[in-house]
Structure 1
């Protein structure tokens, strides 16, 4: 009879984040530069934005841990009880949209820059919309290249 050692959590590597970045940026780009997204964001309430962010979290978790049946949250490194891979996925999903919006000057292009409070709020809402698509790309890239 062979005694099995308990498995150690799989290390989260920089390459894992790089894979997520590629997928996240790939799908975020088209939504950052679309006027309809910014118009939609301008008409959203804070409750819509929070709900949209919740959808991003749900899609990310489902894509990483439910769609990929070989991955288990108990086998991964954690930070404050949350899998590091999931934290990275959320940072990439929202961050890639925010970075592209800033690099392209999208808020100033699509919004009235004189109202800075509305500019900031609408930008956050637009980021939540773009993150829905970014999380799909980031999670897909992470799952495809997982070893």
Structure 2
């Protein structure tokens, strides 16, 4: 009888993050420059933004570990019990939306007349909305190209 070897965590590579970045930026762009997203963000509460980030996390985790049945979260590198791949995915999806929003000067364009504090709050809400779409692109690129 053969004794199974313990599974070593799969190494998370820089190439994995690069794949996520391509997918994240690809789907983030259209939502950063859409006035409707910024109008929606203005009317959202902070609770709604936090709940939206919960949805983003659920989509990301589901895409990485439920939709892709070949990937086991327990067999990956972890930080504080959370897979590094998932942490990277969240950072990429939120970061890509935020970077594009700032590069395109979207807060100044769509939030004229707002105070600086108001612009920061609304920008964070808009980032939560854009991240819903960005995480789909990032997770898809990660799953398709990491085989």
**TM-score normalized by the length of structure 1:** 0.97
Q: State whether structure 2 residue 78 is matched by structure 1 residue 62.
A: no
User: Who is 1:140 aligned against?
Assistant: 140
- Measured after TM superposition, the shift of residue 112 of structure 1 is 2.2
Q: In the alignment, which residue of structure 1 is the partner of 2:30? A: 30
Q: Measure, in 2, the Cα distance between the counterparts of 1:115 and 1:109.
A: 13
Moved over 6 A (4+): none
What value does the CA root-mean-square deviation take over the aligned residues? 1.0
User: 1:29: Cα distance to partner?
Assistant: 0.1
Indicate the residue corresponding to 1:121 in structure 2: 121
Q: Structure 2: give runs of 5+ residues left out of the alignment.
A: none
Deviations 1:8-30 (A, max 9, x none): 01000000000000000000000
Once the two structures are superposed, residues 39-90 of structure 1 have per-residue CA deviations (whole angstroms, 9 ceiling, x without a partner) of 0000101111011111000000000001111111111000111000000000
Tell me the TM-score normalized by structure 2: 0.97
- Do 1:49 and 1:125's aligned partners in 2 also have CA atoms closer than 8 Å? yes
Q: Unaligned regions of 5+ residues in structure 1, if any?
A: none
